[in-house]
Amino acid sequence: MRNIALAVLVAALLVVATVAWWAPATLLSARIADFTSGRVTLSEARGTIWHGQGVLAAGDARIPLDWHLHAIPLLRGEVAIDVAPGAADAATPRGRVVVDAHGALFSDFALSVPATAVADAASRRPKFDSAGTIDLTAEKLDWRPPGGSGTVIAMWRDARIGLAGGAPIALGEISVTLSAAQGRLSGPVRNRGGEFSLDGELTLQANGAGHLRAAVQSRRPDDARIAALSMLGTREANGVVIDWQWSGS
């Protein structure tokens, strides 16, 4: 009788394992939408949850990707996933992300997104129009608050931004280098080229809260657009000082 019960148990486990192995990739769609409160969705999912393809969407951004979910780390309470470009002409996303109860580890990670997706996520009021592409890279970023180590670099190429319905300003190439320490990411914000210079500091907390303080100066004397920029900060010399803080979840 015991042998029969054991055989039934083993058979049941094999069925569960087989079902899990062949679980459709579409199961991830609802999980991603729930986890991001609908700000990021997965569409056109195909394959399985272990090996699949789909399109991540955030705002107007559409990011085709392939993924491979590793089974063994799940036994340690970790989710380890490798991502690769889902389009033949794309170089990103790529890299490995390991998530556990304490945070996430990014290795050899790279992602390119339209600036519109980041602007929509960062500020709903006031509403911004933006253009250009933001490239994110992290060779090794250990994001486990209240600790953390490593660096993430963001390069915003052909950066343009302005209030919705207004004329955007060109900021050239913006670079942001954020270092992880004491449960936050912080670092300088600079730019090269463009109609305005940008010199500031950005801090991001684990809960999504942040602080940006930056001096934005026109490269032209008596620039009439300074008056419009004044609504975003405090007038100073030939520009404004922006001091924004926002709360997290």
182 is a domain residue: yes
Residues 132 and 205 in one domain: yes
249 is a domain residue: yes
Residues 249 and 133 in one domain: yes
pTM of the prediction?
Answer: 0.79
Q: Please say which residue of 101, 121, 146 terminates a domain.
A: 101
pLDDT tens column, 160-218: 887 666 677 899 999 999 999 988 999 999 999 999 999 999 999 888 788 999 999 99
- What local confidence, expressed as pLDDT, does residue 164 receive? 65
Cα dist from 58 to 67, 84, 119, 134, 243, whole Å: 18, 18, 11, 14, 26
Cβ-Cβ contacts under 8 Å for 175 (sequence gap 6 or more):
153, 154, 155, 156, 189, 190, 191, 192
How many domains would you assign to the chain? 2
Q: Tell me the residue range of the domain where 80 lies.
A: 23-101
12 is a domain residue: no
pLDDT tens column, 79-112: 888 999 999 889 999 999 998 888 889 999 999 9
